[in-house]
Amino acid sequence: MKGSLLVAAAALGAQHASAQYATAAMMRFQCSQLVIERLDPLVNPGVLGSPHLHQVVGGNSFNATMTPVQYDPSKESTCTTCTFSEDFSNYWTANIYFRARNGSYKRVPQMVNLGLQGKGGVTVYYIPPYDGKTKVTAFKPGFRMLVGDASLRTEKGMQKQICHRCLPNVEQNPFGGAPCTGDDTAAFPSKPCPGGIRSTITFPTCWDGKNVDSPDHKSHVAYPSSGSFETTGPCPASHPVRLPQLMYEVIWDTREFNDPSMWPETGQPLVYSMGDNTGYGQHGDYIFGWKGDALQRALDARCTGDRCSALTTQTAEQATACQKQPAVKEETEGWLDAIPGGVHAGM
Ligand SMILES: *[C@@H]1O[C@H](CO)[C@@H](O)[C@H](O)[C@H]1NC(C)=O
Ligand SMILES: *[C@@H]1O[C@H](CO)[C@@H](O)[C@H](O)[C@H]1NC(C)=O
């Protein structure tokens, strides 16, 4: 196992000022699979059976109704799948299915990221500015947001810093360069990826300082008005509060599906659970649920990797023992005639 700092630095490395970067203290930790189900308390609150399937990690109080502020995941949860045991937030994304030549679908599993332990899930990053001193303000109770747009099927209109990387090899260090640089694509990779596919989903970093949510779950947050978060670009006057940069990394294990004879003649066979076979609909959802001021303490202490004296941690065994039963009973595994929710490729 490699040191988390090195891996984390390498994960975002190369193309930014590398000296700053090598010392960038970023939290990078495993949140294992909690549940795979058709719930979306952000976009479809109260609905049992959201239009598309998600993979969810974090606190086990994830539910169809999670009313801001009054439903506090850090109080409602009894466990979390994240390494940092004070983090009862929920992090979720769409799932990927493989569509075979005969039209059947099978879910593409996930690998745990390099240097981490657990089961599937998401690698979560909370990144402070690279200068090592600019302060960021932790999310407030009730805070939630969405990045990306599940309905997009073209690159036009996509938010920044959401992409895929085709990994050449599982064994080697696959993290050679900052996310969404080099050969990374907004679309699904067009060829088989021997080491799987890395999705990175990065959230905006400026907050209006007032609203923990907004009707589109986006307009209470914004990107820096000039420059970048990484270079401490200023936040716009409308959204003056500098947040940590939240990023998800998901490693999709495509190895079972890389045989070219399985690929349809019509093109690449991967489909997001909303029926998106372009990849442009990739999106991520977040509901803050850290206990008390734990996240602020971690940011102030410049916690790095997945161990920090300012925070409590749990073992991978404890984290993966945290599970939630799907609220919607349906088959999500094995060969299926349709993606859960009656979804098909090209929708
Ligand atoms: C989710 O909400 C339902 C009621 O809508 C409740 O019965 C169930 O216990 C809740 N599950 C969790 C994990 O809180
Ligand atoms: C469809 O193709 C897959 C992969 O070749 C195969 O495993 C599956 O059994 C097929 N399903 C049907 C219904 O023929």
User: What digits encode the pLDDT tens for the residues 232-243?
Assistant: 999 999 999 999
pLDDT at 15 over 80: no
Which residues, including other chains, have CB under 8 Å from residue 180's CB and lie 6 or more apart? Answer: 160, 161, 162, 163, 200, 202
Q: How far apart are CA 138 and CA 63, in angstroms?
A: 23
Instruction: Please give the model's pTM, rounded to 2 decimal places.
Output: 0.93
Q: Which ligand is nearest to the CA of 73?
A: 1
User: What digits encode the pLDDT tens for the residues 145-192?
Assistant: 999 999 999 999 999 999 999 998 876 665 567 899 999 999 999 999
User: What digits encode the pLDDT tens for the residues 78-129?
Assistant: 999 999 999 999 999 999 999 999 999 999 999 999 889 999 999 999 999 9
Q: How far apart are CA 241 and CA 210, in angstroms?
A: 10
Ligand 2 mutation pick, 102, 259, 331, max ligand atoms within 8 A of CB:
102
Share of the chain above pLDDT 70, in %: 91
Which residue has its alpha carbon closest to ligand 1 atom 3? 63
The residues with which 201 forms a beta bridge, in sequence order, are 162, 248
Buried b (16+ CB within 10 A) or exposed e, 271-283: bbbbbbbbbbbbb
Distances (CA, A) of 50 to 40, 94, 98, 342: 6, 12, 21, 11
Which residue has its alpha carbon closest to ligand 2 atom 13? 104
Q: How far apart are CA 308 and CA 303, in angstroms?
A: 5
Q: Is the Cβ atom of 104 under 6 angstroms away from ligand 2? A: yes
Which residues, including other chains, have CB under 8 Å from residue 200's CB and lie 6 or more apart? Answer: 161, 162, 163, 165, 179, 180, 184, 247, 248, 249
Q: Is the Cβ atom of 335 under 6 angstroms away from ligand 2? A: yes
For the record, the structure tokens of 331 come out as: 């088959």
CB 331 within 8 A of CB 159: no
Q: Which of 89, 156, 90 minimizes the C-alpha distance to 290?
A: 89
Q: What was the pLDDT predicted at 169?
A: 84
Distances (CA, A) of 150 to 86, 117, 119, 280: 30, 29, 25, 8
CB 91 within 8 A of CB 124: yes
Cα of 49 to ligand 1 centre, how many Å? 14
Q: How far apart are CA 129 and CA 154, in angstroms?
A: 31
